[in-house]
Amino acid sequence: MPRTKGSKNKATLTVDERISAVTAEIESMEAKLKEKKAELRQLKVEKEEENQKKILAAVAASGKTAEEVIALLENSGRMTEE
């Protein structure tokens, strides 16, 4: 009958060794979490840049000046506030 992986090692480890192993595993996971959070921040920056490019392309395609688009947006904002 095959043994489960690591079952022999777990029985021979002391409590202190198991604590050290779990602590090391937690530290590794925390480092990985930190990396993933940094990756998420970068992806959000990239998404914002994409959105800004889309807005600029839409403004350019509209044929309106920046001032005209700003005025339209400001007027639109005032209408929704009422």
Each residue of 56-76: pLDDT tens digit?
A: 999 999 999 999 999 999 998
Segment 9-66, tens digit of pLDDT:
566 899 999 999 999 999 999 999 999 999 999 999 999 999 999 999 999 999 999 9
Q: Residue 14 has what DSSP assignment?
A: -
Whole-angstrom CA distances from 76 to 28, 64, 66, 80, 82 are 50, 16, 15, 7, 10
The pLDDT assigned to 64 comes to 94
Q: Would you state the structure tokens that stand for residue 64, as one six-digit string?
A: 């309106």
Is 0.75 topped by the overall pTM?
A: no
The pLDDT assigned to 78 comes to 77
- Is the pLDDT reported for residue 1 higher than 90? no
